[in-house]
Amino acid sequence: MLVIGNWLGRGAWGVARGAWELGVGSWEMAITVNNSNIRGQFPPTIQEKAVQRGEPGGLPQRRKESTRRRGSKGRAKMDSPSTAGDTNKIAVRSSIVESFRGCGLSGIRINREELKKQLTMPQYLRYAMRDSIRLKDPAAGESRYISRAEGEDSAAPPCPMVVFINSRSGGRHGPALKERLQQLMSEEQVFDLQDVKPNEFVRYGLSCLEMLAGLGDSCAKETRQRIRVMVAGGDGTVGWVLGCLTELHTQGRQPVPPVGIIPLGTGNDLSRSFRWGGSFPFAWKSAIKRILQRASTGTVNPLDSWRVSLSMPAGTRVNLPHCLKHAEEFSLDQGFEIQGQLPEKVDSYEGVYYNYFSIGMDAQVAYGFHHLRNKKPYLASGPISNKIIYSGYSCTQGWFFTPCVSDPGLRGLRNILRLHIKRIHSSEWEQIAIPTSVRAIVALNLHSYGSGRNPWGKPKPEYLEKRGFVEANVADGVLEIFGLKQGWHASFVMVELISAKHIAQASAIRLEVRGGQWKNAYMQMDGEPWKQPLNKDFSTYVEIKREPFQSLVISGE
């Protein structure tokens, strides 16, 4: 009875905490207790003391022994076995620690003037790029090169850098951060996304450097070769910049600048995945210097991107997010068997994502939250209020308390959705059965979902071999497809007591969605949700394929 009581108590806490964290949940902290740096900076917590007594995670020894006695029965409730780490981790995460971590607690001081010399371009180059972007003409900067002052420093800096900042992100920090960045390099190298779009920088700013290099300007040539890009914003902003830089791949304009991140969003999963932290630094004024220093010297890593093609019967009225743009045509992959008739005309849209695509209840919750935030922005004025509202939607929109309907089977996705995939190293489409209990399906690229969670988990090698899976990686050309059941299951997944329902790994995905009693489906790409109207006579298709070119992201460590 004691064992059962302990487990139920832990489960109740997990559910309550999971409901809070379903949307973004950053009030957790993963402290590796045998990391000397952490131990040296903070006094040991109750959980750390418990670990030192041989009680992992602060779990009483009696419970640990009881868990052992449950053996395989206890494990059978989990969707997949995961490896135990070599170090004990306290499952109490908090982005507060990440905020302090970005502050440079090690005491390293960075000279402001030296940093500025390292990042700042010569004045004539800055003005040339500015003129080209303003006038939308790469040749507009030529006059700056011709009329540059005699004796003006024309040596390229070691690491020229530009920064895109979403000044509306980060609450009150956005405008102040913009001013601070301009002080650390120059005003012309900091672009507010309200004024300068990343595609304008690619088409006119970088083209200006390439044009001057063609005229024999060695400084412009070296600057173009060395330039790096920082993005201060959330995942959506980072994805926007990465997507615009892919134009350079398609146009053969090498090299493509790598991108670093200053996290200003709520989830910040891209930032977490590449070690830039999960939240804006607490002592940000001093931390920004260190962030820029790391960005100038950090290693560069590849990142897969995935193209989503959406096709629906022509005339469908849908309000799509800005990440999806109208496409001229949509052709179904050869070898795919179509059931039923296709409409005479279709509307097609395309977009790229870097983290995840999902369909189902999680997207419905996100849609409700975004709709309210856009309608009443004063209710979602900061990260904490965002979390509260998001948690409320998780409970009120039916994930935890499913509304009574005539057929319980209608609650599952399998009633409106057919899933086909191409497995690793296969060119054949294969239909995958969707479990009846699954209410959300996610195609994940990164290891981070929902503010740092890893719902796929870390399966053991023998489990991977048995299922025909490979170890997840952000640049392996493979997506991890998993399912979330009712809200209680999702809660345990989000607090990492269990992993999500593993469905498949795929190199390409096709979703066929058709209505009936369902009039709408909810979808989202990298946190941008929309409500997709369904047609009972014709299907809506979603096809996901890997982009041929990988993006480049700077590591924060």
In degrees and rounded to multiples of 5, residue 531 shows phi and psi of: -100, 120
Report whether 452 contacts 482 (CB < 8 A).
no
- Contact status, residue 340 vs residue 332, Cβ threshold 8 Å: no
**Tokens encoding 189:** 């190298």
**40 with 158, same domain?**
no
Structural contact between residues 61 and 52, judged by C-beta atoms closer than 8 angstroms: no
| DSSP-derived secondary structure for 161-179 | EEEEE-TTSSTTHHHHHHH
- Residue 12: inside a domain, yes or no? yes
The answer to whether residues 369 and 232 belong to one domain is no
Same domain, 139 and 49: no
CA distance 542 to 418: 11
Residue in 403, 467, 476 with CA at minimum distance from that of residue 446:
476
Q: Give the pLDDT of residue 451.
A: 78
Q: Domain ends where: 67, 101, 135?
A: 101
Q: What pLDDT score was predicted for residue 82?
A: 52
Residue 60 lies inside a defined structural domain of this protein: yes
pLDDT at 8: 40
Does residue 553 lie in a domain region?
Answer: no
How do residues 26-50 score in pLDDT, each as one tens digit? Answer: 333 333 333 333 333 334 444 444 4
Q: What is the pLDDT of residue 492?
A: 75
For 525, the domain range is: 306-547
User: What local confidence, expressed as pLDDT, does residue 133 receive?
Assistant: 98
Same domain, 375 and 438: yes
Mark whether 359 and 486 lie in a shared domain. Answer: yes
Do 90 and 146 have their domain in common? no
- Looking at the fold, whether 63 and 130 belong to one and the same domain comes out as no
> Which of 36, 69, 101 marks a domain boundary?
101
CA distance 331 to 454: 34
Residues 130 and 246 in one domain: yes
Where a domain ends, among 277, 298, 319? 298
CATH number of residue 421's parent domain:
2.60.200
Residue 107 lies in a domain: no
| Domain shared by 92 and 200, yes or no | no
- Asked if residue 499 lies in contact with residue 478, where contact means CB atoms within 8 angstroms, the answer is no
**Are residues 278 and 148 part of one domain?**
yes
Q: Residue 257: which CATH number?
A: 3.40.50.10330
For residue 138, how many other CB atoms are within 10 A of its CB? 22
In Å, how far from its chain's centre is CA 299? 20
Do residues 119 and 91 share a domain?
A: no
DSSP 417-465: EEEEEE-TT--SEEEEPPPTT--EEEEE-SS-BTTTB-TT--B-HHHHH
Cis geometry, peptide bond prior to residue 435 (ω within 30 degrees of 0): no
Q: Per the structure, how many domains does the chain have?
A: 3
Q: 274 lies in a domain?
A: yes
Q: What does pTM read for this prediction? A: 0.75
| In a shared domain, residues 168 and 254 | yes
Residue 557 in domain: no
Tens digit of each residue's pLDDT, the chain (557 residues): 433 444 344 444 444 444 444 443 333 333 333 333 333 333 444 444 444 555 444 444 433 444 344 444 444 444 455 544 443 333 334 444 454 444 444 446 889 999 999 999 999 999 999 999 999 999 999 999 988 866 666 789 999 999 999 877 666 677 889 999 999 999 999 999 999 999 999 999 999 999 999 999 999 999 999 999 999 998 889 999 999 999 999 999 999 999 999 998 877 899 999 999 988 777 788 889 999 999 999 999 999 999 999 999 999 999 998 889 999 877 666 566 666 677 889 999 999 999 999 999 888 888 886 666 666 555 555 554 455 444 444 444 444 444 434 444 445 788 889 999 999 989 999 999 999 889 899 999 998 887 778 889 889 999 999 999 999 999 999 999 999 887 667 777 776 777 889 999 999 999 999 887 788 999 999 888 999 999 888 999 999 999 999 999 999 98
